[in-house]
Structures are given as structure tokens and as C-alpha cells.
Amino acid sequence: MRVTVLAAAAPAAEPSCYSRLRNEWFCLDYVTDRREEILDAAGEHLTITVLAVALGVALAVPLALLARRLPRLESTALGLSTGLYTIPSIALFPLLVPFTGLTMTTVVIGLGLYALTVLVRAFLEGLRSVPEDVREAARGLGYGAGRLLVRVELPLALPVVVAGLRVATVSTVALTTVGSLVSYGGLGNLIRDGVTTNFRAELLVASVLCVVIAFALDALLVLGQRALTPWTRAAGGARR
């Protein structure tokens, strides 16, 4: 600690590459000096994103099912999710804070609600893409609504659902930034700081990490989809 103080007290002739005077985009010193802070932020970012998407899915499924059961509710469900999406975080979070405090829960709920607009549609479209003859066969065999959904419709809806999930996940990675509003922004805290103080190295590193997280989660989803849909590419499959 002494070292830091000394370094700060007597700045070297050459300012560090991330000081405002140089402010370079690529600056390794920044990464080494702030490693812990960066890793913590990335970890928090990942946690929030995953929890928020999970919450979004948990909310989207019943909404989509309801909308499908009662087609008249479909536009209501879509409208609701759209409406939620348009609430600015600066208006939404203060509404949540009295109930959930300055906690990660607030962010997760907010982001989960934002993800709905993509997810509700994805589930609706996915269910719609299940071939009618398969559905008829399942119903004829005595599948109840629940099992029909879990065993037949969801697996077959997976390509479309995962497509939506990918968009939702990546959007949430970016949106997690708004969590800085209640101090849980993950990399968003750094990005925000980077933008307001024109801290290029910080901005770049945090953005790149966002991209890395998004890429990793995206790849994970694709791999998950492949693992869960072996029939789409079994040996000698269809022509395409």
C-alpha cells in the first residue's frame, strides 16, 4: 500500500498510459492495476445477466401460455411486455427500491421485466412452429396440456425459443449496465464511469468484457440447443 501512495505522491515523469493526459485505448497497466475490480465487475455482470434471463423466462412462459390459451389476451400480453420495456430504468428502479432496497434483486427484477418483450414473443412463436400433425398425434395419445407442452411442444419449439433467448441474453448483457443506477451494474459501473470521465482504457476493457460475456453465453446457448436437439442433425439427416 505504501508503494501506491508513494507512486501517487511522486508521479513519474511519464504519466501512466491510462492517465487523462495520455488516455490510451489500449493500456495494459490499467488491467494489471485494476485486475481485482475488473474481475469482480465481470463476475457480478455475469451473475446478474444469468439471473435476470432466468427470471425473464420464468415470467415469459406463463404469460405466453396464457396468451395462447386465450388468444384474445395475446395482444394484451405483448402490449404489457412492450410497455414494461419502454419504462426508463430511471423511472422503474425508484419504484422497486422501496420494496427491494439497493440490492441485486432490484436489478434482476428490472432486467427480467425488460427481457420479457423478447421472451414472450419467442415462446409464442416457438409454440406456433410445432407441426400440427405431431400435436394431433400427441393429443390423440392422451397427452395432457402440461405434458404436451413439456415433452413435445417445448422441445420442438426450441430452435425458435433459443433464437429469442439469444437475443434476450445478449440484450441483457448490455442492459445490465443500467444496474449502475442502484450500484449493481457489473461492468456497467465501469462503462458508465468510463463514459463520464472519458476513461478510454476502462471503457474499452469493460466493453470488450461485455462482448466476451455475451459471446460466451451465446455460444453456450447454441451448444445447449445442439445438445438438446440431436434430432436436427443426426447422421445422414435431411438434405440441409
Partner 1 sequence: MIRLSGVGKTYADGTVAVQAVDLEVAAGELLCLVGPSGCGKSTTLKMINRLIEPTTGRIEIDGRDVTGEDPVKLRRGIGYVIQQVGLFPHQKILTNVMTVPLLSGGSRAAARARALELLELVGLDPATYADRYPHQLSGGQRQRVGVARALAADPPVLLMDEPFGAVDPVVRVRLQDEFRRLQRDLGKTVVLVTHDIDEAVRMGDRVAVFAAGGRLAQHATPAELLARPADDFVADFVGSERGLRRLSVTPVDPALLDPVDGVRIGDLGAAIEVGATLEQALAAMLRSDRGMVAVRRGPVMLGVLTPDGVHRALRASLSPAEDTGSTAPD
Partner 2 sequence: MRVLTDAWDYLLAASSWTGDGGMLELLLQQLLLTVTALVLALAVGLPVALGLGHLGRGGFLAVNISNIGRAVPTFALLAVLVTLDWPGYESFGPYGRAGVATLLALTLFALPPIITNGYVAVREVPSDVLEAADGMGMTGAQRFWRVELPLALPLVLSGVRLALVQVWATATIAALVAGPGLGRVITDGFYRSQYGQGIAGALVVAAVALLLELAAAAAERFAARERRDPLGTVSQGLRPAG
Partner 3 sequence: AGDDLSEDAANDDDSTPAASAGGPVNISGQNFPEATLVASMYEQLLEDAGYDPTVRLVDSRSVYIETFPGDVDVVPEYVGGIVNELNARKLGDQAEPFTAGDGKELAEQGSDLLEEQGITLLDVSEATDTNAFFVTQEYAEENGVTKLSDLEGTSVVLAAAPDCEGRLDCEGGLVDEYGIDVTKVLPLGFASDQTYQSVLDGESQLGLTSTTDGTLESQGLVVLEDDKAIQPAQNLVPAVSSAFLEEHPDVAEKLNELMAALTTENLTELNGRIAVDREKPEDVAREFLEQEGLL
Q: Which of 17/163 has CB closer to partner 1? A: 163
By CB under 8 A, tell whether 4 contacts partner 3. Answer: yes
Encoded amino acid at 184, one letter: Y
8 A C-beta contact, residue 101 and residue 154: no
The kind and range of the H/E element at 206 are helix 200-228
CA gap 45, 104 in Å, rounded:
11
List the single partner that 46 binds among partner 2, partner 3, partner 1, none, CB under 5 to 8 Å by kind.
Answer: none
**CA-based radius of gyration for the chain:** 23
* Contact footprint for partner 1 (CB under 8 A): 131-134, 136-145, 147, 151-152, 155-156, 229-231, 234-239
Interaction mask 16-55, partner 3, x per CB under 8 A = x-xxxx------------x---------------------
CA gap 119, 57 in Å, rounded:
7
By CB under 8 A, tell whether 191 contacts partner 2. Answer: yes
CA gap 116, 5 in Å, rounded:
48
Looking at residues 82 to 121 of the shown chain, list those that interact with partner 3 (rule: CB under 8 A). 90, 93-94, 97-98, 101-102
Q: 435476470: which residue's cell? A: 52
Give me the residues that bind partner 3 (CB under 8 A), please.
1, 4-5, 8-9, 11, 15-16, 18-21, 34, 90, 93-94, 97-98, 101-102, 180-183, 189, 192-193, 195-199
